[in-house]
Chain A
Amino acid sequence: EAGVVQSPRYKIIEKKQPVAFWCNPISGHNTLYWYLQNLGQGPELLIRYENEEAVDDSQLPKDRFSAERLKGVDSTLKIQPAELGDSAVYLCASSLSGGDTEAFFGQGTRLTVV
């Protein structure tokens, strides 16, 4: 069974440009997370989906970040416009049932904004 798949692995963009990340979770997993991880720190939750509903997006900077989860499966995270401070690793994870079960992580997308 394939794990969580993220693309691209790496992205370099100029500031003020838009960028999008894509995540394909494990089949059958209802919960999908997007986390941001800065160097030397732990993952910080941006948004959590239960099926297609965003149930926790309190940490998502909504002025520039948006996310969607189509038909409760794949998800995209978009930043528009990107700022220098957005440089980080963006991690997608999925689980069967929220925090009650283990989360499976993708390899992440390393974003560099120049």
Chain B
Amino acid sequence: SQQGEEDPQALSIQEGENATMNCSYKTSINNLQWYRQNSGRGLVHLILIRSNEREKHSGRLRVTLDTSKKSSSLLITASRAADTASYFCATAVPYGNKLVFGAGTILRVKS
């Protein structure tokens, strides 16, 4: 079973535009992480936000976390063709200390 659900399932934008992906989850968490996966490759960690944090930045990435709504968003600013990939949120649940992934958002950035 998967804890997180990403929205939208797929997103297509022009290079230079911003891309926003959302993640909703069901249970309490210790932290929430975002990963990127290029076609046919393994997952790459992007950013981790802890349950007591509300916003975090890393380069062109901005992540927000609303624990009252059990949701998170990932914003990629000034997107590039190289950002084309699948993006997954993963939640670290308190009991079991494991990472549970959502189904992902497929982002396509057109040049």
Contacts and interface: CB of A to CB of B under 8 A. Distances in A.
Interface stretch (A11-19, A64-72, A73-81, A94-102): A94-102
A107 B41 contact: yes
A55 B98 CA distance: 10
Contacts of B103: 40-42
Contacts of B33: 102-103
Interface in B75-99: 88, 90-93, 96-99
Interface in A38-70: 40-45, 48, 55-56
B97 A98 contact: yes
A107 B40 CA distance: 8
Contacts, number: 66
A25 interface: no
Interface residues of B, number: 26
B104 A106 contact: no
A33 B42 CA distance: 13
Size bracket, chain A contacts: 20 to 34
A56 B45 CA distance: 22
Interface of A: 4, 33, 35, 40-45, 48, 55-56, 91, 93, 95, 98-108
30 contacts: A33-B99, A40-B103, A41-B104, A42-B2, A42-B101, A42-B102, A42-B103, A44-B2, A44-B101, A45-B99, A48-B96, A48-B98, A56-B98, A91-B42, A98-B97, A99-B31, A99-B91, A99-B92, A99-B97, A99-B99, A100-B30, A100-B31, A100-B97, A103-B43, A104-B45, A105-B35, A105-B44, A106-B42, A107-B41, A108-B42
Given A4-B42, A100-B92, 20 more contacts: A41-B104, A42-B4, A42-B102, A42-B103, A43-B43, A44-B101, A45-B98, A45-B99, A45-B100, A55-B96, A91-B42, A91-B43, A95-B99, A98-B97, A99-B30, A99-B31, A100-B30, A102-B48, A103-B43, A105-B43
